[in-house]
Chains A and B, each alone.
Chain A
Amino acid sequence: MNPILRARQVNIYYGDKRAVRDIDLDIAPNTVNALIGPSGCGKTTFLRALNRMHDLTPGARVEGTITLDGEDIYGDVDPVSIRRRIGMVFQKPNPFPTMTVLDNVVAGLKLAGIRDRGTLLEVAERSLRQAALWDEVKDRLNTPATGLSGGQQQRLCIARALSVEPEILLMDEPTSALDPQSTARIEDLMSDLKKDVTIIIVTHNMHQAARVSDTTSFFLIGDLVEHGPTDQIFTNPRDERTESYVTGRFG
């Protein structure tokens, strides 16, 4: 199958410091892909390069090529249109503080100029159902989003990201701030979501990677050490360092 996302010789610098080195990676459509590795290994840095989030970080620089459906996302293209196609869910739930639950979910459409209430409600319901949150919030759509629990807020953020129908969803340790129950719900979600969207998830939790992902990439101090089917990475890694990490000898 043709990869939807392809990274070639990607290097990312913060000032003079190279945080990520010569990454080559192919992501197949409709799969869940985990990026694992110890803290500071560059996995989040790499993830944020995939929808040009580093454009905002002073001093950050991305080299190499990353293509989405064959198009270079660092080429002659508006980063806004790239982010429209590659959504993101962050480590901590970050609902828009002044908005209601409903306004949060449809913010991506509403603020892009779509005003038709029927369309917005329809998209809101579809996205909230996709994020397995509809039943919990359908009676409080017009209450402030900050009134939801942490786990609900994170699923709200997932619904918000899904509302603009991205091709790829980047998830940066989406469950690290949540309790085990909320974590389980979000993990269940991922396998349902992959029929609509390709997921790339950074996680510190190896069990999570093993549970939810089809492929796993192991990062270590800026290098992509090994990439392969999740089964193989966890049961029969080719690289010694991968084996030490997945068996819990360090990290």
Chain B
Amino acid sequence: MTTTLRHADRIATSRGARRIRNVVASVLIGLGTLVVLVPLFLIFWYLLSRGLGAIDLDFFTRSPAPPGEAGGGLLNAIVGTFMLLIIASLIGVTIGIGGGIFLAEFPRHRLVPLVRLVSDVLSGIPAIVLGLVAYGLIVVTTRQFSAWAGGVALGLLMIPIVVRTTEEVLKLVPTSVREAGLSLGLPQWRVTLSIVLPAATSGIVTGVMLAVARVAGEAAPLLFTALGNNLLNLDPSKPVSALPLSIYVFATSAYPEQQRLAIAGALVLILIIFVASLVARVATRRR
């Protein structure tokens, strides 16, 4: 009898202690979450409070006014950013997904270690160095700063990110699904393309958006490739502006009008990435 009572007592006290530990742990986790979220909200708050007022119709429809004059917008940079991202995606997404498929689906191939090494090294190269590569490859040979050169620099930057996520996501597709495809007498490329890849689409799209978001904010590799352009340009073989470039130039300007454009540009850049991610996610959501 006494032992049962003691046992019950012990359960009661340990229940009390457990409750306290639970509260302490919950508070710590809550604080940790707060610490992570606070900088994000501070950035949002700063950009919204300063940038929202600076965005008007002119911002989207006009290029910057000459220094010291009022008005003007960042149409040139918005268009340039889209142009650069499209060129970069053509390179980064195709090569990146191809590389990811190769690593995940042909693990016994003898070139796999080499491809993995190249991808890993590429992901460790600073963005500005990739800018130099594009400068050497394209700007020097064509004697012309251009959207092509900027797009190539950003594309190189995207490749390892897309490779990595594609490989990871493909590896999540169960082996048994591949085996089922092969056991039907389908060649491996067909199984990969029509069975494995569709099963991994939403993950791959997330990876691509991650890569796009990552390079959309790059200014350094564009400095000596896309160069920047104060006028609207639709020709990819000519210099173009980009939002990060405009932000970089205008944020340190002495003219309040240009500082205003820089803040608004930062806000729009974040919104573009946010909306693009959202659209991609909704579009590929599993039915």
Contacts and interface: CB of A to CB of B under 8 A. Distances in A.
Given A58-B107, A98-B198, A144-B287, A108 B182 contact: no
A111 B194 contact: yes
Given A83-B183, A87-B184, A107 B195 contact: yes
A160 B177 contact: no
Q: Give the one of B108, B180, B287 with max A CB within 10 A.
A: B180
B182 A97 contact: no
Contact of A157 (B180, B187, B194): B180
Contact of A94 (B180, B187, B190): B180
B231 interface: no
Given A98-B199, A144-B287, A81 B179 contact: no
Contacts of B287: 144
B66 interface: no
A85 B190 CA distance: 18
Contacts of B195: 96, 98, 107, 111
B176 interface: yes
B190 A111 contact: yes
Nearest to A170: B183
A92 interface: yes
In this complex, the member of B179, B182, B183, B186 whose beta carbon has the largest number of chain A beta carbons within 10 angstroms is B183
Interface string A127-160: 0000000000000000010000000000001001
A14 interface: no
Contacts of B199: 96-98
A85 B199 CA distance: 26
Contacts of A53: 179, 182-183
A76 B166 CA distance: 34
B181 interface: yes
A234 B42 CA distance: 76
A95 to B, nearest CB: 8
Nearest to A97: B199
A81 B187 CA distance: 9
Nearest to A98: B198
Nearest to A93: B176
Contacts of A107: 181, 184, 186, 195
Given A58-B108, A144-B287, A161 B184 contact: yes
Interface residues of B, number: 24
B238 interface: no
Interface in B175-220: 175-187, 190, 194-195, 198-199, 201
B176 A90 contact: yes
Nearest to B182: A83
Interface string B137-179: 0000000000000000000000000000000000001111111
A80 B179 contact: no
Contacts of B184: 83-84, 87, 107-108, 111, 160-161, 163-164
A96 B177 contact: yes
B180 A90 contact: yes
B185 A56 contact: no
B113 to A, nearest CB: 13
A148 B107 CA distance: 33
B179 A88 contact: yes
Contact of A111 (B173, B176, B186): B186
A56 B179 CA distance: 9
Contact of B174 (A56, A94, A98): A94
Contacts of A83: 182-185
Given A58-B107, A107-B195, A111-B190, A87 B176 contact: no
A164 B108 CA distance: 28
Nearest to B191: A111
20 contacts: A51-B183, A56-B175, A58-B107, A80-B187, A83-B183, A83-B185, A84-B184, A90-B176, A90-B180, A94-B176, A94-B177, A94-B179, A95-B180, A96-B199, A98-B199, A107-B186, A108-B186, A112-B186, A112-B190, A163-B184
Interface of A: 51, 53, 56, 58, 80-81, 83-85, 87-88, 90, 92, 94-98, 107-108, 111-112, 144, 157, 160-161, 163-164, 166, 170
